[in-house]
């Protein structure tokens, strides 16, 4: 219901050809879709950026995946943990940081270039390449997780057999490893490509200055301009959604059919290949990725936040705390951060019981149609959050209870768009708990409530806490849905950062981003503290 | 330890999952205090039957009574939830709760029943003594070996004096040596608790060792019900003969003219006469007999018995430790004979194969 309602309205709006402001639509037709021809270049841009970023991300993911799961690079275990970091940096942070580093005029790199006597600029981030670069750094860690998992599940005996038969390591890698993991890599590529098509923040921050639009930013523009052109935006959204849905479908096909015999139930010892002296260059590659994707952006933003005017050469009189003072004294910022934290709390606290109940329904109750419910609930996964929010905007505008422009609408939006995330986290934990643990309590005579209290809940606790924090973090940093749905009196922090980027100073924006990150880090610290206590408690 | 024993009656039990029928009309009874085993290959419906008795699986139709009272019936509709059936169960995965101590695990059933804490302490201690885990009460359940978890699961299952104990392949996760030990312990425990039990396994030795009666199942139906001795020496059909240890199958034409003393006689294609017992099965013109590989004897000199003595030659000899397996050329085919005696027979030796007619059993086809 929560899921289908906005989608239905999205489709309705896309077919409306009468007065754009009339609700319900006066006439239906395909004019909005045929009219999309004018925007062909935007679809071209989207495809270009997504394709570039996918290629880059898959290269990153494959290289890192192979090095970290199949070779003896020093510090593999630590690196594998660290590879999650780019994901926490978020594309928005990355885009802001890279804009500071490499924008044609004020970018740090170009300042240095000119200081060294160069003409014009060395690099320009406000291009399709720049957008793809930032997105690829972010999605690289997603590709890594997916491809790494496939590589780990491959029986090393297959590689060993090749080596025993006299093939060199490189030949083994090219002739055995690569073909075996190819379906997994393809799956990751399709998945990443679909995500890129719907991505929003990097394209917004880096594309807008040069009026370079992708579908999501064009939709945003169409909706926020005056007069808003909802039907056209809706038609774009539906088209994008259709493409992504096809991609997700292809992804599922690849995952379910094309994996050869790579994943066998047979137990094998994970064994890694000795790459000898190449270990150190490999280590360098891994470290370089993390540096570019995590350390550099975080440092840049932090540095900029303490500057009057960001300059490549640090000068004592340029350092200041004024940005933090301003950020904290601006009512809008304080209120937005407060709103975000409240929303995060509410989303996580309502989301965990709700999604817990839904997971239980899907995986434990043996309700007829549980599979269908699962499919429906995972639906928001296939829809870019901005497109989804657009559907919700359209849907809730005419809702009899006036929740448009309030935090309530955002809460509903968050609960809907994060359904797949929460469900996957919680159901992962539920599936790990063997059904017989509950059944044995039942055989001891415990009633449903007693079982839930003494067995099910204590076992689920660590997973539920993790899910709570994930939802909290995701909500506080949400952009795509929030930017469309927040009202002037109910701002949240991430869209406020973007607004400040376009309207106020860069340095102030950096300070806001740092503040937001600190809030998220505080939540993460809490996660680890609680998780450790839970582990110790369980281990006693 | 006091226990109230209960009988179990299962009538026309059918369990269907969607289009798959796991159990297709099974009927049997377990007497109060009896130890019954459901034996069969995986997917034969034995675990589903057990779970239906437990109340963890809702049957499609049929009736289940425990201690005379219906706990499930399709008409009139009765379905007592598992927690109110007064049974207990030991799970294949042990299902020991990792977030509780050993003591709390075992005490669970008593606390559910709101027994005073003093009684809980005494009874848990008794139960732990009985499974030889007396000193482990305070240990966290997640820090136990497989064998110890098994014992905790046992103690937890019987501590609250259930009327029936159900076992779902409880020993299948243990290694062979530990399994053999636990089998003996389990039998001892059953005797001391004096309780009705239903045991599910695919392991023949386990079934033979601990049961009063065995039910052999295949594809959701019962193939044979009988004492361990009957199941072993008088299999009803080729499936039971084959599943329950190894047997030689001998096909032949009925020779009613030679039959005396209640024996059945068949003549093989090669001309050998085999005397056996019908064990209540109606013999036709064509007949199939089964004889266990360990019931055949091999001797150099012709034995003095009148019937079932045939000349043969040893083709192959495989030493397997506990026994030696001989492949013997007999009547134009190969018979398999297992002998536990240390013995001088060599490949190529001319010998006599003999079999007591009581162990040559007519099969249903």
The CA-based diameter of chain B, rounded to the nearest angstrom, is 75
Partner-chain residue, chosen from B109, B140, B160, that has the shortest CB–CB distance to A539: B140
Asked whether residue A147 falls in the same domain as residue A57, the answer is yes
pLDDT tens track for A148-197: 877 777 777 777 788 788 777 778 778 877 777 787 788 788 888 888 88
- Dihedral sign for Cα B152, B155, B160, B165, please: positive
Going by pLDDT thresholds of 50, 70 and 90, the confidence category of residue A262 is very low
Q: Measured between CB atoms, does A445 come within 8 Å of chain B? A: yes
Last residue of a domain, one of A270, A299, A320: A320
Query: Nearest chain B Cα to A536, which residue?
Result: B99
Residue B315 near residue B334 (C-beta atoms within 8 A)? yes
Asked whether residue A249 falls in the same domain as residue A327, the answer is no
- Burial class from Cβ neighbours inside 10 Å (0-12, 13-18, 19+) for residue B85 reads buried
Side-chain half-sphere exposure of A154, counting CA atoms within 13 A: 29
Residue A255 near residue A194 (C-beta atoms within 8 A)? no
Q: What is the mean pLDDT of residues B55-76?
A: 91
Going by pLDDT thresholds of 50, 70 and 90, the confidence category of residue A392 is confident
- Interchain contact, B98 vs A540, CB within 8 Å: no
Asked whether residue A178 falls in the same domain as residue A256, the answer is yes
How confident is the model at residue A527, as a pLDDT?
A: 65
Which domain, by its residues, includes A300?
40-320
**Edge-to-edge strands, sheet with B350-355:** B296-299, B350-355, B309-319, B324-330, B333-339
Q: What is the mean pLDDT of residues A435-462?
A: 86
- Interchain contact, B97 vs A459, CB within 8 Å: yes
Q: How far apart are CA A83 and CA A69, in angstroms?
A: 12
Residue A80 near residue A149 (C-beta atoms within 8 A)? no
How confident is the model at residue A255, as a pLDDT?
A: 65
- Interchain contact, B97 vs A443, CB within 8 Å: no
- Interchain contact, B112 vs A446, CB within 8 Å: yes
Query: Nearest chain A Cα to B157, which residue?
Result: A444
Select, from the ranges A8-22, A115-129, A422-436, B47-61, the one with the highest average predicted confidence (pLDDT).
Answer: B47-61
Range from A302-311, B155-164, B180-189, B274-283 carrying the lowest mean pLDDT: A302-311
Residue B150 near residue B186 (C-beta atoms within 8 A)? no
Query: Nearest chain B Cα to A535, which residue?
Result: B99
Range from A47-51, A200-204, B1-5, B219-223 carrying the lowest mean pLDDT: B1-5
Average pLDDT of every residue of chain A: 78
Q: Percent of chain A having pLDDT more than 90?
A: 1
The verdict on residue A3 lying in a domain is no
How confident is the model at residue A269, as a pLDDT?
A: 52
Asked whether residue A338 falls in the same domain as residue A425, the answer is yes
H or E segment and range at residue B252:
strand B247-254
The verdict on residue A347 lying in a domain is yes
Going by pLDDT thresholds of 50, 70 and 90, the confidence category of residue A267 is very low
d(CA B161, nearest CA chain A) in Å? 10
Q: Percent of chain A having pLDDT more than 70?
A: 81
pLDDT tens track for B130-180: 888 888 878 888 788 888 888 999 999 999 889 899 999 988 888 888 888
Which residue has better confidence, A272 or A259?
A: A272
Asked whether residue A105 falls in the same domain as residue A245, the answer is yes
The verdict on residue A6 lying in a domain is no
The CATH number given to whatever domain includes residue A246 is 1.10.3720.10
- Interchain contact, B88 vs A443, CB within 8 Å: yes
d(CA A72, nearest CA chain B) in Å? 32
Residue of B346, B311, B50, B328 lying closest to B199 (CA atoms):
B50
Contacts A454 to B, Cβ<8 Å: 108
How confident is the model at residue A13, as a pLDDT?
A: 65
H or E segment and range at residue B308:
none
Last residue of a domain, one of A271, A304, A320: A320
The verdict on residue A109 lying in a domain is yes
Return the DSSP state at B88: E
Asked whether residue A204 falls in the same domain as residue A104, the answer is yes
Q: How far apart are CA B166 and CA B46, in angstroms?
A: 12
Return the DSSP state at B56: S
DSSP labels, A463-499:
HHHHHHHHHHHHHHT--HHHHHH-BTTB--HHHHHHH
How confident is the model at residue B2, as a pLDDT?
A: 43
Last residue of a domain, one of A287, A320, A353: A320
Q: What is the mean pLDDT of residues B33-46?
A: 93
The verdict on residue A270 lying in a domain is yes
Q: Decide if pLDDT at B236 tops 80.
A: yes
Length in residues, chain B? 365
Which residue has better confidence, B25 or A530?
A: B25
Q: Decide if pLDDT at A540 tops 50.
A: no
Contacts A450 to B, Cβ<8 Å: 112
Which residue has better confidence, B30 or A418?
A: B30
Asked whether residue A104 falls in the same domain as residue A159, the answer is yes
Q: Decide if pLDDT at B36 tops 70.
A: yes
Number of cross-chain residue pairs from A and B with Cβ atoms under 8 Å apart: 66
The verdict on residue A491 lying in a domain is yes
Going by pLDDT thresholds of 50, 70 and 90, the confidence category of residue A45 is confident
Residue of B149, B171, B162 lying closest to B92 (CA atoms):
B171
- Burial class from Cβ neighbours inside 10 Å (0-12, 13-18, 19+) for residue B347 reads exposed
Q: How far apart are CA A324 and CA A19, in angstroms?
A: 46
Show Cβ contacts of residue B332 under 8 Å, excluding neighbours closer than 6 positions.
B269, B270
Paired tokens of A156: 């090393």
Asked whether residue A116 falls in the same domain as residue A261, the answer is yes
SS3 content of chain A, % helix, strand, coil (to 5): 75, 0, 25
Q: What is the mean pLDDT of residues A3-11?
A: 67
- Interchain contact, B83 vs A443, CB within 8 Å: yes
Contacts B105 to A, Cβ<8 Å: none
Going by pLDDT thresholds of 50, 70 and 90, the confidence category of residue B181 is confident
Going by pLDDT thresholds of 50, 70 and 90, the confidence category of residue A306 is confident
Contacts B58 to A, Cβ<8 Å: none
How confident is the model at residue A5, as a pLDDT?
A: 65
Q: What is the mean pLDDT of residues B291-300?
A: 91
How confident is the model at residue A312, as a pLDDT?
A: 65
- Interchain contact, B82 vs A454, CB within 8 Å: no
- Interchain contact, B98 vs A454, CB within 8 Å: no
Beta bridge partners of B298: B353
Residue B83 near residue A447 (C-beta atoms within 8 A)? yes
Q: How far apart are CA A301 and CA A94, in angstroms?
A: 9
pLDDT tens track for A107-159: 778 877 887 877 777 778 888 888 888 888 888 888 888 888 777 777 777 77
Q: Decide if pLDDT at B1 tops 70.
A: no
Asked whether residue A300 falls in the same domain as residue A364, the answer is no
Q: How far apart are CA A433 and CA B38, in angstroms?
A: 27
How confident is the model at residue A263, as a pLDDT?
A: 42
Q: Decide if pLDDT at B354 tops 50.
A: yes
Contacts A538 to B, Cβ<8 Å: 98-99, 142
Neighbours of A291 (CB within 10 A): 13
Show Cβ contacts of residue A77 under 8 Å, excluding neighbours closer than 6 positions.
none
Asked whether residue A269 falls in the same domain as residue A407, the answer is no
Asked whether residue A262 falls in the same domain as residue A389, the answer is no
How confident is the model at residue B338, as a pLDDT?
A: 92
Residue B159 near residue B193 (C-beta atoms within 8 A)? no
The verdict on residue A235 lying in a domain is yes
Range from A117-121, A517-521, B2-6, B291-295 carrying the lowest mean pLDDT: B2-6
* Tally of helices (H runs) and strands (E runs) in chain A: 27, 0
Paired tokens of A443: 């055989």
Going by pLDDT thresholds of 50, 70 and 90, the confidence category of residue B118 is very high
Domains of chain B: 8-233 (3.40.50.300), 247-362 (2.40.50.140)
Going by pLDDT thresholds of 50, 70 and 90, the confidence category of residue A276 is confident
How confident is the model at residue A25, as a pLDDT?
A: 57
CA distances from A51 to A9, A46, A89 (A): 30, 8, 22
- Interchain contact, B91 vs A455, CB within 8 Å: no
Residue of A45, A244, A52 lying closest to A137 (CA atoms):
A52
Asked whether residue A292 falls in the same domain as residue A222, the answer is yes
How confident is the model at residue A29, as a pLDDT?
A: 62
Q: What is the mean pLDDT of residues B302-315?
A: 89
Q: What is the number of structural domains in chain A?
A: 2
The verdict on residue A22 lying in a domain is no
- Dihedral sign for Cα A230, A235, A239, A245, please: positive
Q: What is the mean pLDDT of residues A83-90?
A: 78
ipTM confidence: 0.79
């Amino acid at each position: 219901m929560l899921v289908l309602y906005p989608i239905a309205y999205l489709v309705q709006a896309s077919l409306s050809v009468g007065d754009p402001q009339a609700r319900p639509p006066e006439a239906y037709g395909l004019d909005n879709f045929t009219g999309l021809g004018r925007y062909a270049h935007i679809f071209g841009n989207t495809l270009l950026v997504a394709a570039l970023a996918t290629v880059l991300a898959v290269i990153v993911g494959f290289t890192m995946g192979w090095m970290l799961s199949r070779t003896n690079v020093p510090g593999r275990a630590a690196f594998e943990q660290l590879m999650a970091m780019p994901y926490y940096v978020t594309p928005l942070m990355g885009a802001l940081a890279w804009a500071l580093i490499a924008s044609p005029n004020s970018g740090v790199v170009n300042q240095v270039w000119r200081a060294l006597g160069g003409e014009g600029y060395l690099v320009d981030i406000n291009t399709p390449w720049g957008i793809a670069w930032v997105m690829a750094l972010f999605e690289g860690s997603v590709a890594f997780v997916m491809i790494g998992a496939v590589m780990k599940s491959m029986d090393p005996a297959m590689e060993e057999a090749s080596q025993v038969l006299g093939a060199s390591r490189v030949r083994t890698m090219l002739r055995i490893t690569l073909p075996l993991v190819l379906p997994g890599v393809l799956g990751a590529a399709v998945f990443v490509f679909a995500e890129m098509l719907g991505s929003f923040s990097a394209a917004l921050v880096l594309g807008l200055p040069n009026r370079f639009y992708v579908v999501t930013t064009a939709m945003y523009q169409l909706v926020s301009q005056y007069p808003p052109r909802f039907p056209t935006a809706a038609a774009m959204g539906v088209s994008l959604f259709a493409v992504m849905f096809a991609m997700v479908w292809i992804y599922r096909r690849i995952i379910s059919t094309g994996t050869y015999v790579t994943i066998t139930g047979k137990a094998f010892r994970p064994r890694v290949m000795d790459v000898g002296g190449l270990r150190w260059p490999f280590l360098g590659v891994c470290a370089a990725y993390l540096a570019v994707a995590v350390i550099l952006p975080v440092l840049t933003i932090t540095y900029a936040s303490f500057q009057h005017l960001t300059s490549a050469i640090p000068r004592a009189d340029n350092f200041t705390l004024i940005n933090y003072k301003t950020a904290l004294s601006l009512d809008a910022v304080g209120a937005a951060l407060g709103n975000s934290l409240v929303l995060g709390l509410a989303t996580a606290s309502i989301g965990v019981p709700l999604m817990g109940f839904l997971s239980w329904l899907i995986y434990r109750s043996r309700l007829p149609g549980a599979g269908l419910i699962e499919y429906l609930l995972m639906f928001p996964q296939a829809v870019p959050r901005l497109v989804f929010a657009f559907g919700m905007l359209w849907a809730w505008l005419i809702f009899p209870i006036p929740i448009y422009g309030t935090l309530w609408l955002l809460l509903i939006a968050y609960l809907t768009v994060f359904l797949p995330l929460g469900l996957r986290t919680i159901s992962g934990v539920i599936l790990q708990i063997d059904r017989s643990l509950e059944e044995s309590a039942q055989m001891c005579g415990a009633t449903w409530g007693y079982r839930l209290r003494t067995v099910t809940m204590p076992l689920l606790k660590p997973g539920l806490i993790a899910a709570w924090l994930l939802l909290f973090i995701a909500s506080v940093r949400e952009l795509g849905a929030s930017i469309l749905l927040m009202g002037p009196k109910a701002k949240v922090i991430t869209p406020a950062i973007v607004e400040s980027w376009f309207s106020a100073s860069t340095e102030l924006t950096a300070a806001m981003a740092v503040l937001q990150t600190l809030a998220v880090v505080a939540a993460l610290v809490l996660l680890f503290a609680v998780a450790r206590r839970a582990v110790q408690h369980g281990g006693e | 330890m006091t226990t109230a024993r209960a009988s179990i009656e299962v009538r026309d039990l059918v369990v269907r999952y969607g289009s798959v029928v796991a159990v297709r009309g099974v009927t049997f009874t377990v007497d109060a205090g009896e130890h019954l085993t459901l034996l069969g290959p995986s997917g034969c419906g034995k675990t589903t039957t057990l779970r239906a008795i437990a109340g963890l699986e809702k049957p499609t139709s049929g009736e289940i009574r425990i201690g005379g009272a219906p706990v499930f019936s399709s008409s009139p509709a009765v379905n007592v939830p598992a927690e109110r059936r007064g049974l207990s169960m030991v799970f294949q995965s042990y299902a020991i709760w990792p977030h509780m101590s050993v003591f709390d695990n075992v005490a669970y059933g008593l606390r559910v029943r709101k027994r005073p804490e003093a009684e809980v302490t005494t009874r848990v201690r008794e139960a732990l003594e009985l499974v030889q885990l007396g000193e482990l009460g305070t240990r966290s359940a997640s820090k136990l070996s497989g064998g110890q978890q098994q014992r905790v699961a046992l103690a937890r299952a019987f501590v609250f004096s259930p009327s029936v104990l159900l076992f779902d392949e409880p020993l299948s996760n243990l290694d062979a040596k530990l399994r053999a030990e636990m089998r003996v312990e389990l039998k001892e425990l059953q005797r001391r608790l004096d309780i009705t039990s239903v045991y599910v396994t695919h392991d023949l030795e386990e079934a033979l060792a601990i049961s009063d009666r065995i039910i052999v199942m295949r594809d959701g139906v019962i193939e044979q019900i009988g004492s361990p001795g009957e199941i072993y020496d008088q299999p009803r059909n080729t499936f039971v003969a084959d599943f329950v240890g190894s047997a030689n199958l001998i096909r032949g034409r009925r020779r009613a003219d030679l039959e005396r003393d209640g024996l059945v006689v068949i003549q093989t294609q090669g001309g050998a006469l085999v005397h056996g017992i019908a064990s209540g099965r109606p013999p036709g013109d064509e007949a199939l007999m089964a004889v266990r590989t360990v019931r055949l004897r091999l001797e150099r000199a012709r034995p003095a018995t009148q019937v079932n003595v045939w000349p043969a030659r040893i083709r192959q000899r495989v030493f397997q430790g506990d026994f030696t397996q001989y492949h013997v050329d007999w009547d134009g085919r190969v018979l398999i004979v297992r002998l536990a005696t240390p013995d001088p027979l060599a490949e190529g030796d001319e010998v006599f194969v003999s079999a007591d007619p009581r162990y040559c059993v007519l099969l249903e086809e």
